[in-house]
């Protein structure tokens, strides 16, 4: 066990020394990886912030329940009781027919016309905010509440939510496609870097094989080199996104104050940051493994 651990520590140290041996080349490779990964990760952060901002502009979608004109106080109390106990209802408010009529008069300027009517044509209503604002959950809640007694109409204000959800999904699909293409480029960078290392160390590898070094012993430092290079590139991408948010956050905050809104840009979460680092390290390791498998077997002692 200790021998296996010491071999990995030795391979890790060799990989770090190889990175430090050519600082300019390593810096250029890491910069390419960082810039490549900052594009999809930055767009992902932009979409998350856009979704948060649009929620503040538009507010949460609401469900309106309009009662029948012949509904009485007992019907209203029964519906109130059911809404209080409903697990998917976050909050609700009751708008009486008299209150709705006054709001209608003030909003339309038709007070004289409405006063000439024999009876109030507007129904009592409930305005409901759901716990889950996804379009699917809202549709399911609307269909369920529409079956309550004395409910004439259940109207859902979710058209904007569906459009926003479709745009966010389209953007995330674009991010996945861009990330896949740039991931291939990272693998290619690691593949080519390791290939050049193997070619320049050909004599050293031949000597190592002559004295009995195993393939795993020779391969291991190259794999660590690719993983470290990929992870540092992922850290560079994280830093690029952080600097971009830092430089634009104050200007956006000043703009939002003009609309009397308190909004700030959010960076990658801890889980997303770890995923970025681990994924970039895995891609570097994959590129190194492909290069080693392709070129190391071609070098044999003469």
Band (pLDDT 50/70/90 cuts) for residue 116 is: low
What pLDDT is attached to residue 286? 92
Tell me the C-alpha distance between 284 and 231, whole Å: 8
pLDDT digit string, tens, across residues 147-188: 888 888 887 765 666 677 777 788 888 888 888 888 888 888
Is the domain spanning 62-157 CATH 3.30.70.3040? The answer is yes
SS3 of 189-201: the string is: HHHHHHHHHHHHC
At residue 239, does pLDDT exceed 90? Answer: yes
At residue 110, does pLDDT exceed 60? Answer: no
What pLDDT is attached to residue 29? 84
At residue 278, does pLDDT exceed 90? Answer: yes
At residue 131, does pLDDT exceed 60? Answer: yes
Of 107 and 135, which is predicted with more confidence? 135
Tell me the C-alpha distance between 37 and 83, whole Å: 47
Q: What is the pTM of this model?
A: 0.65
Q: Which of 98-137 are b and which e, b meaning 16 or more Cβ less than 10 Å from the residue's Cβ?
A: eebbeeeeeeeeeeeeeeeeeeeebbbbbebebeebebee
Residue ranges, CATH 3.30.70.3040, the chain: 62-157
Tokens of 248: 């634009």
What pLDDT is attached to residue 285? 92
E-only strand ranges, the chain: 62-67, 89-95, 125-130, 151-156
Mean pLDDT confidence for 192-209? 77
Tell me the C-alpha distance between 195 and 167, whole Å: 42
What pLDDT is attached to residue 57? 54
**9-23, 152-166, 212-226: least confidently modelled range:** 152-166
Of 237 and 205, which is predicted with more confidence? 237
Give the mean pLDDT of the chain: 78
At residue 302, does pLDDT exceed 60? Answer: no
Mean pLDDT confidence for 4-22? 76
DSSP letter string over 243-270?
Answer: HHHHHHHHHHHHHHHHTT---------H
Mean pLDDT confidence for 200-207? 74
């Amino acid at each position: 066990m200790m021998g296996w651990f010491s071999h990995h520590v030795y391979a890790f140290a060799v990989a770090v020394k190889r990175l430090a041996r050519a600082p300019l080349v390593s810096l250029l490779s890491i910069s390419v990886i960082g810039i490549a990964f900052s594009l999809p990760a930055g767009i992902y952060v932009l979409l998350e912030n856009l979704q948060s901002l649009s929620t503040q502009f538009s507010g949460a979608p609401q469900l309106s329940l309009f009662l029948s004109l012949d509904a009485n106080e007992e019907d209203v109390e029964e519906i109130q009781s059911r809404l209080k106990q409903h697990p998917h209802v976050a909050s609700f408010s009751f708008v009486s027919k008299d209150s709705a009529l006054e709001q209608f008069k003030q909003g339309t300027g038709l007070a004289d016309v409405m006063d000439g009517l024999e009876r109030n044509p507007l129904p009592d209503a409930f305005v409901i905010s759901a716990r889950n604002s996804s379009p699917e959950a809202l549709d399911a809640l609307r269909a369920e509440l529409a079956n309550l007694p004395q409910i004439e109409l259940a109207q859902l204000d979710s058209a904007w939510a569906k459009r926003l959800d479709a745009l966010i999904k389209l953007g995330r699909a674009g991010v996945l496609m861009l990330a896949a293409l740039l991931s291939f480029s990272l693998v290619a960078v690691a593949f080519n870097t390791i290939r050049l290392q193997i070619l320049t160390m050909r004599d050293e590898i031949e000597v190592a094989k002559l004295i009995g070094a195993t393939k795993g012993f020779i391969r291991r430092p190259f794999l660590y080199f690719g993983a470290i290079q990929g992870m540092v590139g992922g850290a560079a991408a994280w830093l690029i996104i952080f600097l971009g948010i830092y430089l634009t956050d104050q200007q956006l905050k000043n703009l939002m104050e003009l609309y009397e809104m308190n909004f700030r840009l959010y960076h990658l979460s801890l889980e997303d940051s770890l995923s970025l680092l681990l994924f970039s390290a895995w891609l570097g390791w994959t590129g190194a493994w492909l290069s080693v498998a392709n070129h190391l077997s071609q070098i044999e002692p003469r």
